[in-house]
Structure 1
């Protein structure tokens, strides 16, 4: 599998999640293909198999929670709330802090599984490594009117 920044486009996945009315197998596969770096996990085959079983049984919320657990081992589900016809989901790296001190990633959607997947995609987008060369480049500012001049005294 190629690097996340080269192959994956989480912005388009986030747009597709926002426009979807409900979860589906093709949408979950698209999230896995474009935003998941650890799936399928060679070191955690049981978790990968569990995600596949959830998808096969159309358990979208369970599949989204299992993907979060597999893809974001340092993140935890901080809050799930339903208000005004939408599900609000917050993921955080530090759940012991009060809400006002915590820097969590939040997402919302009318479908719970899609709210969870949108939060996963947002964390992956934030955590994506920047594409920078290992050696900085310097711009070559050659002026065409400059000509070399020999200053040797041959006399």
Structure 2
């Protein structure tokens, strides 16, 4: 892993909590987008060298909706930037690491993403992400 890229926070409504991150914490809003494949809206804020990602479910069958129903609002995942995501997933699989995603899928900012099972990471959902073009020095 090259570095911690972002921390994902599940929320019921981005608009309801955005004020706290911008006005109270003073974080710079970067952008907001819809990720149809994930059934979520996301908003990114700069927090020093990493980003905070607020994740809001789009639909009643969104995995984030299920997360919110089970655990409530709060920490959803930590994401590490990497290169050669497909190769990393294969190497993890070869080591018998339980994966949620055996193959990369499209995430926010055009990144390829994949998740490791929280059973492997002491209950923390871990996302691996590879920037568009595979470069890890990308700034958003």
Task: Identify whether the pair has TM-score above 0.5, normalized to the shorter chain.
Answer: no
TM-score for the superposition, normalised by structure 1: 0.25
TM-score (norm. length: structure 2)? 0.27
CA radius of gyration, larger in: 1
Higher share in helix: 1
